[in-house]
Homo-oligomer: A and B are copies of this chain.
Amino acid sequence: MQSKPTTIKEIAKILNISPSSVSRGLHDHPSIGAVTRDKIKQLAKSLNYEPNKAAILFQKGKTYTIGVILPELSEHFFSIAISAIEDEAIKKNYTVIFAQSHDRYEQEVKLVEKMKNQRVDGLLVSISKDTSNFDHFETLNSFNIPVVFFDRIPPFKNVHYVACSLETATVKAVTYLLRKGHRSIGMINGPNTLYASDERKDGYKLAITSNRLKFDPSLILNCDLTEQGTIDAAEKFLNHKRKPTAIVAFNDYVALFLIKYLKKLDIIHNFDIVSYANLPIIGYLDHSPIASVEQYPYLQGQKATNILLDLIHSPNVKHQAYYNTIVDADLIINDVRG
């Protein structure tokens, strides 16, 4: 009893007109009579006609689909971002397909290929941790598939991207700690492959030097963002000749690992920690960061999607201008301490 979906052809046959007329009728094409148009629409509705999207996509060479590649959907930041992407896409009648790179470069390369095969109309990408080569995105260029990077973006400007000004945010964060009287501030930074790491570093430097203090590079440690990596960094700080009294953590996960470790050593009260917001309930922690950089994932997702849709709809001319959108990050002070 499997009923096949109604087609334009069937409607045409019943009404004794041509399929093209039906198509035009359904699309309010000017060269169709009002009477037949109404008859077509009425019958279509009563037969529960649904356009066969596969056929349309095939015919038009467009898929009305945007692809999203991100490192890890279970990370709160990305789940919020893709939630925004879907909300925004559905408004414009686009469908979202997504895939996770699981922070692996090779997987990312494969997924870009896959998305290309799927003929997505555009691609939204947050690059993986260990992506330093960006050739796989070049291909998309020649196929005229626009790409907008968000949050985790490549370290150059000649691409479209939406990201936070983490530099500015970091300046705010470090300045806040300086105002609180801290004179030795450690930073557990991410890997150097990430542009986000550069920004944090630059912000740190800028905050220090513009307060006429001397910048000590050994107070910035790189970290692979794992728990062990965080512990290693923390240990180095504990043995540092200028043992920091405050630490800027790369993100809430690092902050969490750090807090866990410092709690275990029972020295958590000797430190003020500032982090970058990833987790929704970090503020409810026993010992939580005293301030957090809010990166507005929903807003980033929204903006990236709108830019992408804009590029999709814009004429095929090579853009020489790139969207380099910066979403302001804010420092959220977490007054209530546990």
Binding site for B on A (CB under 8 A): 1-3, 5, 50-55, 57-58, 61, 63, 65, 72-74, 76, 79-80, 82-83, 86-87, 90, 95-100, 116-119, 142-144, 256, 259-260, 279-282, 284-286, 316, 338
Contact = CB atoms under 8 A, between A and B. Distances in A.
Nearest to A57: B54
A73 B316 CA distance: 34
A55 B53 contact: no
Copies in the complex: 2
Contact of A50 (B5, B76, B82, B116): B116
Nearest to A144: B2
A76 B73 contact: no
Contact of A281 (B2, B51, B57, B281): B281
B97 A97 contact: yes
Contacts of A260: 284
A306 B73 CA distance: 20
Nearest to A55: B58
Contact of A86 (B2, B99, B116, B281): B99
B63 A54 contact: yes
A151 to B, nearest CB: 15
Q: For A3, A5, A63, A83, which residue has the most chain B Cβ atoms within 10 angstroms?
A: A83
Given A79-B73, A285-B286, A2 B119 contact: no
22 contacts: A2-B142, A2-B316, A54-B57, A54-B63, A55-B58, A57-B58, A73-B82, A73-B83, A73-B86, A74-B80, A74-B83, A76-B79, A79-B79, A86-B98, A87-B100, A256-B284, A279-B280, A281-B285, A284-B286, A285-B286, A286-B286, A286-B338
B256 A1 contact: no
- List the 9 closest A-B pairs by CB distance, nearest first: A79-B79, A58-B58, A54-B58, A73-B83, A286-B338, A2-B144, A54-B57, A74-B83, A286-B286
A117 B279 contact: no
A301 to B, nearest CB: 11
A101 to B, nearest CB: 11
Residue among A76, A97, A284 with the highest chain B CB neighbour number at 10 A: A284
A57 B57 CA distance: 10
Contact of A61 (B54, B79, B80): B54
Contacts of A61: 54
